[in-house]
Amino acid sequence: MNEKKNRPGTICVHAGYSPENGEPRQMPIIQSTTFKYESSAAMGRLFDLEDDGYFYTRLQNPTNDMVAARIAALEGGVAAMLTSSGQAANFFACFNICEAGDHMISAASIYGGTFNLFAVTFKKMGIDVTFVDQDAPAEEIEKAFRPNTKLVFGETLSNPGVRVLDLEKFATIAHSHGVPFIVDNTFPTPVFCRPFEWGADIVTHSTTKYMDGQGVQVGGAIVDSGNFDWEAHAEKFPGLTTPDESYHGVIYTKKFGKGAYISKATCQLMRDFGAIQSPQNAFYLGLGLQTLDVRVRRHNSSALRIARFLQSDPRVKWVEFPELETSPEHERQLKYLPEGTCGVMAFALDGDRDFVEKFMDSLKLATIETHVADCHTCILHPAAHTHRQLSDAQLAEAGIDPAQLRFSVGLEDPEDLIDDLRQALDKASEN
């Protein structure tokens, strides 16, 4: 089966595992830390990277590899690795080519956890990050480059702002400076957007979100397109193009070709940091992926119906969802995400904090929680939760409306969700 010829819905079900005669139909869990060998020499060849094979699950595990292959096929990449979380994926993806004394450029509209990793922890590690306004003209963004810049980073659809990144613009800017473009594609998933088709080189995921989809396990993934030519920019990427003394002098680009980047991340970073996904969690992720195509289309179509309902209710001040014709993101959505975006939106009520609180407390289906992108609809009030220490004036400075809500549409029937929102708006409006 040539997986690349199939559409996402088929890849979700089949890629990464093809049972032979009499083998289990479902992908098996190989819940084992170690693997047995017949001779000392056979084991030695594995350590020398001479033979392919499993020896310790911190480095590689068959279940993890099957699930990683499914994600690689979905993205149209050549290789992938699973990590213990999305945070670990973004950390490894950057640290694999960026070290103390280096610099990188990131879009400013990114997930708060990633922003913190870049702005605070990377700084402590000696890596400087410049944040740029993703909608700024290319000439403006180019000014952020330095001789030691090693990569450009952004999110296809930002969490939580659901802003659409101009992938072609970012890829062109990165490549004209001889560095790769890394994209966190968590929110749209490869069902709605495959950033490699727009010039991205590396894709990352928090598989905790739609890929798992049920809210059962935290995980991450890194996928390599195999397209970036490390050797053409060898002076910038010595970690890939010169001998790794900590691994028997291997030169990753020479030994692994298009698999160089992921092999280095496995042999060095996973070996030393150990942020591996457990085979049990990888199995759950594989199950989630089987239904990803069906689920994200439903999340998205329900979200659009709900966004239109909210837009039509006078008690709602504004709604931000890229598919709405009124959205400033709409034009880029049509280009990069023509089949859909995700199930997350922001909206603000026309009322004070008390009104919002009464509305939230009256909801019966949408649960109040700090999560997004799984089968349960959930809602968060930034002014009362993630940003509660800020005054209204400080909120305004941060671009947050005190009456703003983040809403993640789950897999419930959309008409029931609309009924729930309507009754909560009615309750909050009673005196």
Interface residues with ligand PLP (CB under 6 A) are 85-87, 90, 111, 113-114, 155, 159, 184, 186, 206, 208-209, 218, 220
Smallest CA-to-CA distance from 282 within 222, 217, 224, 186 is with 217
- Shortest Å distance, C-beta 215 to ligand PLP: 12
Strand-pairing partners, residue 204, are: 184, 222
- Shortest Å distance, C-beta 74 to ligand PLP: 17
Which residue number, 110 or 425, has a Cβ lying nearer to ligand PLP?
A: 110
Task: Please compute, for residue 69, the number of CA atoms within 13 A of its CA located in the half-sphere on the CB side.
Answer: 15
- Shortest Å distance, C-beta 38 to ligand PLP: 39
Q: What is the CA radius of gyration of the chain?
A: 23
- Shortest Å distance, C-beta 323 to ligand PLP: 19
- Shortest Å distance, C-beta 406 to ligand PLP: 12
Number of CB atoms found within 10 A of residue 314's CB: 7
Which residue number, 57 or 114, has a Cβ lying nearer to ligand PLP?
A: 114
Strand-pairing partners, residue 406, are: 346, 380
Which residue number, 212 or 252, has a Cβ lying nearer to ligand PLP?
A: 212
Which residue number, 90 or 134, has a Cβ lying nearer to ligand PLP?
A: 90
- Shortest Å distance, C-beta 422 to ligand PLP: 29
Which residue number, 116 or 429, has a Cβ lying nearer to ligand PLP?
A: 116
Residue nearest to ligand PLP (CB): 86
Which residue number, 220 or 322, has a Cβ lying nearer to ligand PLP?
A: 220
- Shortest Å distance, C-beta 192 to ligand PLP: 14
Q: Rounded to whole angstroms, what are the CA distances from 382 to 10, 161, 392, 422?
A: 38, 12, 11, 21
- Shortest Å distance, C-beta 342 to ligand PLP: 10
Which residue number, 37 or 115, has a Cβ lying nearer to ligand PLP?
A: 115
- Shortest Å distance, C-beta 23 to ligand PLP: 31
Q: Kindly give, in sequence order, each residue whose CB lies less than 8 Å from that of residue 223, ignoring residues fewer than 6 positions away.
A: 71, 72, 75, 77, 79, 80, 202, 203, 204, 205
* 200, 171 contact by CB (below 8 A): yes
| Dist. CA 141–CA 132, nearest whole Å | 6
Which residue number, 161 or 178, has a Cβ lying nearer to ligand PLP?
A: 161
404-408 and 202-206: which strand pairing?
unpaired
Number of CB atoms found within 10 A of residue 128's CB: 16
Cis peptide before 19 (omega within 30 of 0): no
Q: How many residues does the chain have?
A: 431
Which residue number, 132 or 203, has a Cβ lying nearer to ligand PLP?
A: 203
Per the listing, tokens 């400080």 go with: 394
- Shortest Å distance, C-beta 158 to ligand PLP: 7
Which residue number, 87 or 333, has a Cβ lying nearer to ligand PLP?
A: 87
Q: Could you give phi then psi for residue 34, rounded to 5 degrees?
A: -135, 170
Q: Could you give phi then psi for residue 167, rounded to 5 degrees?
A: -60, -40
- Shortest Å distance, C-beta 385 to ligand PLP: 16
316-320 and 103-107: which strand pairing?
unpaired
Which residue number, 221 or 260, has a Cβ lying nearer to ligand PLP?
A: 221
Beta strands in 133-234 (DSSP E): 149-155, 181-184, 202-206, 220-224
Q: Could you give phi then psi for residue 206, rounded to 5 degrees?
A: -90, 105
Smallest CA-to-CA distance from 383 within 421, 427, 344, 348 is with 348
Per the listing, tokens 């499914």 go with: 70
Helices (H), 328-413: 330-336, 353-362, 392-397
Q: Name the token pair of 212.
A: 């798992």
